[in-house]
Chain A
Amino acid sequence: DTAVSQTPKYLVTQMGNDKSIKCEQNLGHDTMYWYKQDSKKFLKIMFSYNNKELIINETVPNRFSPKSPDKAHLNLHINSLELGDSAVYFCASSQGTTGELFFGEGSRLTVL
């Protein structure tokens, strides 16, 4: 039973398109995140939600819009895709005070 699952795992699309990545966690955690990992493996936080409320919003273009319909789901919608959006996007969740993150397997987005 996968704890944090993301779909799709791979996404190839043309520049200018709009796409979404979905994330679900069955751990009962209150907090969910989106991270972006670039081609050099550098991992940077994009957004964080706690109980459906946005609590971290890093400097991310407003073409990226997260949505949390409930605390088990956090989706990421990207408008007008650009070449530089090509990356692996990781969803994660956490609970409690230690900040331990549980990651999904990632969604590899390739923009042509």
Chain B
Amino acid sequence: GEDVEQSLFLSVREGDSSVINCTYTDSSSTYLYWYKQEPGAGLQLLTYIFSNMDMKQDQRLTVLLNKKDKHLSLRIADTQTGDSAIYFCAESSGGYQKVTFGTGTKLQVIP
């Protein structure tokens, strides 16, 4: 079955860049996503990338996809204390196919 792995924890200083990494196993993944979960809240989509792309930039967020290695990363530039949250990588084949989530990476931003 599908498997999506992330490191559990990342700590960065305010103003630095954060890089959160993810590996997945399903070679038929069509869409790859990054979701953010703040304490006591549901997940919110930050960005997604189609599998035929290798990079997507959206303001402070940069997503890199290495399809050969099945590796996805999320870079947050100029990390702020408000970025402290759990970040989930996820993959699906699109439509109403099952979205499989990673284990989540807790990002701690130190002022």
Looking at B12-20, B61-69, B95-103, the stretch in contact with chain A turns out to be B95-103
Is A43 a contact of B101 with CB atoms below 8 Å? yes
Is A103 a contact of B44 with CB atoms below 8 Å? yes
| Closest chain A residue, CB of each to CB of B30 | A99
Known: A41-B104, A99-B31. A106 touches B96 (CB 8 A): no
User: Which residues of chain A in 89-112 are interfacial with respect to chain B, using CB atoms and an 8 Å cutoff?
Assistant: 90, 92, 94, 96-106
Count: A-B pairs, CB below 8 Å:
64
Is B103 a contact of A99 with CB atoms below 8 Å? no
A28 CB, nearest partner CB in chain B, Å: 15
A48 on the B face (CB < 8 A): yes
A68 on the B face (CB < 8 A): no
User: Which residues of chain A in 54-110 are interfacial with respect to chain B, using CB atoms and an 8 Å cutoff?
Assistant: 55-56, 90, 92, 94, 96-106
| Tier of interface size on chain B | 20 to 34
Is B41 a contact of A105 with CB atoms below 8 Å? yes
Report Cα–Cα, A109/B44, bound state, in Å.
Answer: 21
B24 on the A face (CB < 8 A): no
A31 on the B face (CB < 8 A): yes
Chain B residues whose CB sits within 8 angstroms of the CB of A90 once the complex forms: 42-43
User: Which residues of chain B in 72-111 are interfacial with respect to chain A, using CB atoms and an 8 Å cutoff?
Assistant: 86, 88, 92-101, 103-104, 106
Is B98 a contact of A105 with CB atoms below 8 Å? no
The residue from B37, B88, B94 contacting A99, defined by CB atoms under 8 A apart: B94
Is B43 a contact of A103 with CB atoms below 8 Å? yes
Chain A residues whose CB sits within 8 angstroms of the CB of B100 once the complex forms: 45
Q: Find the residue from B43, B92, B97, B104 having the highest chain A CB count within 10 A.
A: B43
The residue from A40, A97, A99, A106 contacting B99, defined by CB atoms under 8 A apart: A99
Is A97 a contact of B43 with CB atoms below 8 Å? no
User: Which residues of chain B in 15-48 are interfacial with respect to chain A, using CB atoms and an 8 Å cutoff?
Assistant: 31, 33, 35, 37, 40-45, 48
